[in-house]
Amino acid sequence: MTTSSPRTTLIARTTLAAALVACLLGIDHPAVAADLAQLDKLTPSGAEKEGSKDGTIPAWQGAEPPLPGWEWGKLRRDYWKHKDEKPLFTIDASNVDKYAGKLSAGQVAMVKQRKGYRMDVYPSHRTCGVPDFVAGNTRKNLGTARLNDDGWSLKEATVPGYPFPIPSTGVEAMWNAKMRYRGVGIDFKNLIVAVSPRRGSSEWIRAGTEQTLYFPWGAKGSNQLSSFPPVEFYTYFAYVSPTALAGQALAITQYLNQAENETFYYFPGQRRVRRMPTYSHDAPQIGMENQYTLDEPNVFNGALDRFDWKLVGKKEMYVPYNAFGAYDFQARFEDVARDDFIVQSHRRYELHRVWVIEATVKAGMRHSTPKRTVYLDEDSWAPVLMDDFDGQSSLVKMREGFLVPVYETGTCDVMAMVQNNLAEGRYVVDSHAIGAGKDIRWVTEASGPRMRSSFYTADNLRTISER
């Protein structure tokens, strides 16, 4: 007499459930079963469990909790067990060519162009986990998550979960990045958005802001995306300084299935809210001297419609990882943000596997940077690096997203980022906690007015802005 192990029984039941769902949706069951079997060999997010052959990238062990005593308001770095590590080596102008095969074109250019710029490389730690409900929803998405007929927008998925844990196209990989679990919202009580000085000047653009992001589909549990309004996220953003920008505020609805977002902008001088019908994609952000467009925050932001997204494959690269220095809200902005770059003490690099996606502007479309390469962390799908090229294929910008484990959600995320304008020698720093005096808060339970869609309307924007 033979008996099945609990794991074998579980796999059989999961495969049967997948078969029933596939039958109802008219999906090829053998393909779903094959994907389930493949996912069993991977992490819950679809990453390789094994480390690299030389051992420099470790095997995945799941989320790494903070040391005892952490709560929101305390520095995250102080409760990371590897906080006292020393760099393994440094990449600088003297040896960058030796490591160029594991760097992006933009990273190499930064080291060569910016005097004194270096990259300290630390031991690699795969600290990104996946909550059980996200793992379960991700399995349900095999064979059931779907794009719309336009080929770029998302129609259906079980959320919160990665829609395409075994992606076959660049668009699918990008939707994994856009739908990564971040709780129901992210709240910034105090934030600095800054642009470094022009060449020959010492004058910064430095704006104090507050911001909230709300993901209606991010509530714990298991729901169909189609049961929510077709919204990727809502955001509220308000300037508190300098005087030229103070009082300006905007509410944005970023849709899952529309190329243009819905933006309402409050101008205090006019005491009115205006709808901004084309404030998206590569439109310059107001007040940033054409250094920052609407689709550049968070490494990449906005609709996927203007590009063809090619999934190139995976690559080992030195990327910002466990970069707690970017979330050091006790640090002084002036000590960290120098005229040419963020100081190395607040950047950390590790060797990790990343998905490589090449974006090329579609025929008949236009964009200020018609070629892009984006790199997504394999464990979290968060974008950690992106290079932008102009119409002559010349490198113009490089963005780095500073990934950290998020203790509230049990995942990793990227909020803090730096964009380097290689053509002009300037850079943008955004969503850092540096200089804020308060930490960023990831919200996992919806409560309060900002965790409701009604907060992001034109009427409400006018009401809260005129107080």
Residues 32 and 101 reside in one and the same domain: no
Specify whether the CB–CB gap between 114 and 368 falls below 8 A.
no
Q: 18 pLDDT exceeds 90?
A: no
Distance between CA atoms of residues 133 and 351, nearest Å: 29
36 and 90 both lie in a single domain: no
Question: Considering the chain, what percentage of its residues have pLDDT values greater than 90?
Answer: 89
Which pLDDT belongs to residue 29? 67
Same domain, 36 and 85: no
pLDDT band at 33 (very low <50, low <70, confident <90, very high): confident
Cβ atoms of residues 383 and 412 within 8 Å: no
Q: Indicate whether 45 belongs to any domain.
A: no
The answer to whether position 47 is within a domain reads: no
Task: Identify whether the C-beta of residue 92 lies closer than 8 Å to the C-beta of residue 111.
Answer: yes
Print the domain residue range for 311: 77-465
| Global pTM value | 0.93
Q: Are 427 and 341 in contact (CB under 8 A)?
A: yes
Assess whether 16 and 141 both reside in one domain.
no
Which tens digits make up the pLDDT trace of 335-355? 999 999 999 999 999 999 999
- For residue range 51-81, list pLDDT tens digits in order: 999 999 999 999 999 999 999 999 999 999 9
| Dist. CA 238–CA 245, nearest whole Å | 9
7 has a pLDDT exceeding 50:
no
Residues 15 and 135 in one domain: no
Are the C-beta atoms of 35 and 166 separated by less than 8 Å? Answer: yes
Residue 19 has pLDDT above 60, yes or no: no
Using CA atoms, how far residue 122 sits from 83, 88, 320, 432, in Å, is: 11, 5, 10, 21
The answer to whether residues 32 and 134 belong to one domain is no
In a domain, 408, yes or no: yes
Listed in sequence order, the residues at least 6 apart from 122 whose beta carbon sits closer than 8 Å to its beta carbon are 85, 86, 87, 88, 322, 348, 349, 350
Buried b or exposed e, range 403-434, using 16+ CB within 10 angstroms? bbbbbbbbbbbbbbbbbbbbeebbbbbbbbbb
What is the CATH number for 419? 2.50.20.10
d(CA 190, CA 401): 19
């901004």: which residue's tokens? 276
Q: In angstroms, rounded to a whole number, what is the distance separating the alpha carbons of residues 413 and 320?
A: 12
Domain assignment present for 51: no
Q: Are residues 444 and 324 in the same domain?
A: yes
Residue 25 and residue 127 in one domain: no
SS3 content of the chain, % helix, strand, coil (to 5): 20, 30, 50
The amino acid at residue 307 is F
Listed in sequence order, the DSSP H helices in 102-205 are 105-113, 132-140, 170-178
Read off the DSSP letter of residue 283.
Answer: P
Residue 404 lies in a domain: yes
For residue 355, is it within any domain? yes
Q: Are 127 and 159 in contact (CB under 8 A)?
A: no
Residue 157 lies in a domain: yes
- Do 340 and 276 fall within a single domain? yes
Q: Give the per-residue pLDDT at 153.
A: 98
Residue 292 lies in a domain: yes
How confident is the model over 131-159, as pLDDT tens digits? 999 999 999 999 999 999 999 999 999 99
* pLDDT score recorded for residue 467: 57
Number of domains in the chain: 2
Residue 85 shares a structural domain with residue 185: yes
Phi, psi of 28 (to 5 degrees): -65, 110
| Same-domain status, 202 and 322 | yes
Report, as an integer, the average pLDDT of 217-235: 97
Q: Are residues 315 and 249 in the same domain?
A: yes
Tens digit of each residue's pLDDT (9 = 90 or more) over 158-215: 999 999 999 999 999 999 999 999 999 999 999 999 999 998 899 999 999 999 999 9
